[in-house]
Amino acid sequence: MRTKQGDSTLGAGRAASQPLALAAMMLAVAMTFIDQTIVSIAAPDIVSELGLSTSGMQWVINAYLLALAACFAFGGRLADLWGPRRVVVAGTLIFVISSVLCGCVPVGDHALTWLIVFRVTQGLGAALLFPAALAVVVAVFPVERRGRALALFFGVTGALTAVGPLLGGWLTAWTWRAIFWVNVPVAIIALVLTALARIPDRRRDESLDVRGALLIVAGMGLSVLGFQQASAWGWDSAATWACIAGGLALLYAFVRYELRTPGHPLINLSVFRDRGFTSDTLVLFFAMLAFVPVFFFASVYAQVSLSASPNQAALYLLYFFAGFAIASQWGGRILDKRGARPAMRIGCALGAVGFALWAGKLTDLSMHDQWPYAALAGAGIGFILAPASTDAVNRSIDASYGEVTGITQTIRNYAASVGLAVFGTILTHTMTDRVTETLSTRGVPPGTDHSVARDVTQAITGNADTRTPSGDGPLETTMREAMPAIRMDFAEANQWIFYGMAIALAVGYFCALRHPGGRATPQDGMASQDGTPPTERRPRDSARSENGD
């Protein structure tokens, strides 16, 4: 989005109520952050009631993230063309109506399709809402107060991610459908505050890059489809690699098209000329491969292998968030004093060690013994997210806050989608192999053992009672006797996932080493907004790059 500073201080900031506008935008955006994590806690109950498979449940979670990532830049451009206030209202309405419909999903054959469709529209609403809300904050607050307003906006909304598991555990004790319905009162309050804030709208008479929007949506969707379905199609399937390669080819075509598009491209890719910005986005990508997926895999692990209730699983995730919250504060101080590079390096190193140690403890089947390693992993992510995101915004070249946030949020949500898809596929294959071996050692005939193992894996996120076979036949008796071993199999399969997250953060560490260092400020990057030509700022950028940490 191209919300210029000159526009923001001429009338918009004076006409609107700044506190009401900020409160309205934070409440509206809070729903989108909470929904990234709240569904994971309720996953076993949803699977049990609706009869979904493990891969189907992963699609329910991933559909939201994928739609959010694919449509984020599109939402930013609509905010430019229609006005951010109108798009905030439209995005909020789409999001809350979709939430209600998700909670009203009927039990039956069409349950999975119903949930996926309305999770996609939920993600579309969030993709419209978030960049438009950011544009409102930028437009309403003058330059001298904007930094504090944005810090509060990002800090509060980001911290609300931690509310998702706790709220999910509490609501699931009543009914899992309430995790979607809880968005209704929040949306109503946000819409009322938006109306009371008297936020003026500014439209732009510019064209919409429809071709670019179609390319990025198709590229992200097709690539994630390949990763997700690899568990069903197999890694040796031509369809798997056709989807992955085709999706990546479309994303490459999108980049080439955007670089050659005159006028108003969907995304201003010139920001990647800054080496620091490129390093920030790469670190964010690898961090997000772990950050959102860990909520799903850790909560299901707690409920399956540790036999925890949804509330207990939420408390289990609090260990992670405790480390995350503390490190986020330290990371902000390091960013202010020394720049983003030290914080990202510390975060990637701590996260890689934390996830690796956490993985090693999963087979102990003790929630209490795992808390130091979960907190260490959370601390690693906490050191990364805010410094990398803030530094990326401050390093924007010929772009606005909204445009750069659009890029970073697109990358973050796409990485989360890829992480869920890839790790989910690894979990399915590993779990099937281990359960097959477990059943084989108990005398289940070859062929039957693999078939049963596949069925167990697909249903493993159900409640413990539904996973325990009934009946007095030999196979049912063997399955009942094997359930403790199968829970251990699930813990061992999850070890591969957590080691994978550790590897992702280790790769992020090497990306952080490429960061030029130094501190970037909004004045360094906001060329098109403050009227300073980029050529007059390049010596400052060079000096900044030579300062190191």
Residue type, 52: L
Q: What is the pLDDT of residues 128-157, one digit of tens each?
A: 998 888 888 877 877 667 667 766 776 676
Main-chain dihedrals φ then ψ at residue 105, nearest 5 degrees: -60, 130
Determine the average pLDDT of the residues in 160-179. 78
Q: Are 310 and 37 in contact (CB under 8 A)?
A: no
Which residues are 517's β-sheet partners? 548
How far is residue 388's CA from residue 287's CA, in Å, rounded to a whole number?
Answer: 10
CB atoms under 10 Å from CB of 156, counted, come to 16
Q: Is 15 exposed, middle or buried (0-12, 13-18, 19+ CB in 10 A)?
A: exposed
Q: What confidence score (pLDDT) does residue 531 get?
A: 34
Q: State how far the alpha carbon of 138 is from the alpha carbons of 9, 142, 290, in Å.
A: 9, 8, 30
Residue 106: DSSP 8-state: P
Nearest to 6 by CA among 133, 142, 135, 137: 142
Residues 6+ apart with CB under 8 A from 466: 48, 459
- Sign, CA dihedral 481-483-488-490, equals positive
Q: What confidence score (pLDDT) does residue 3 get?
A: 42
Q: What confidence score (pLDDT) does residue 521 get?
A: 60
Q: Are 167 and 179 in contact (CB under 8 A)?
A: yes
pLDDT at 540 over 50: no
Q: What confidence score (pLDDT) does residue 27 get?
A: 87
Q: What is the pLDDT of residues 22-32, one digit of tens each?
A: 889 988 888 88
- Sign, CA dihedral 357-360-362-364, equals negative
Give percent of the chain with pLDDT exceeding 70. Answer: 81
The token pair at 270 is 């010139």
The token pair at 182 is 């809880």
Main-chain dihedrals φ then ψ at residue 493, nearest 5 degrees: -65, -35
pLDDT at 440 over 80: yes
Q: What confidence score (pLDDT) does residue 402 get?
A: 58
Residue type, 9: T
Nearest to 32 by CA among 412, 367, 547, 465: 412
Nearest to 406 by CA among 89, 9, 80, 169: 80
Residue 162: DSSP 8-state: G
Q: How many CA atoms lie within 13 A of 78 on its CB side?
A: 23
Main-chain dihedrals φ then ψ at residue 201, nearest 5 degrees: -110, 145
Q: What is the pLDDT of residues 374-430, one digit of tens each?
A: 999 999 998 998 888 878 877 765 555 556 777 888 888 889 888 988 898 888 888
The token pair at 335 is 């960013």
Q: Are 491 and 301 in contact (CB under 8 A)?
A: yes
pTM to 2 decimals? 0.79
Q: What is the pLDDT of residues 301-354, one digit of tens each?
A: 998 888 888 778 888 888 898 898 888 888 878 888 888 899 999 999 999 999
CATH class of the domain whose range is 1-204: mainly alpha
Q: What is the pLDDT of residues 7-48, one digit of tens each?
A: 443 344 345 688 888 889 988 888 887 877 777 777 778 888
Nearest to 373 by CA among 350, 392, 344: 350
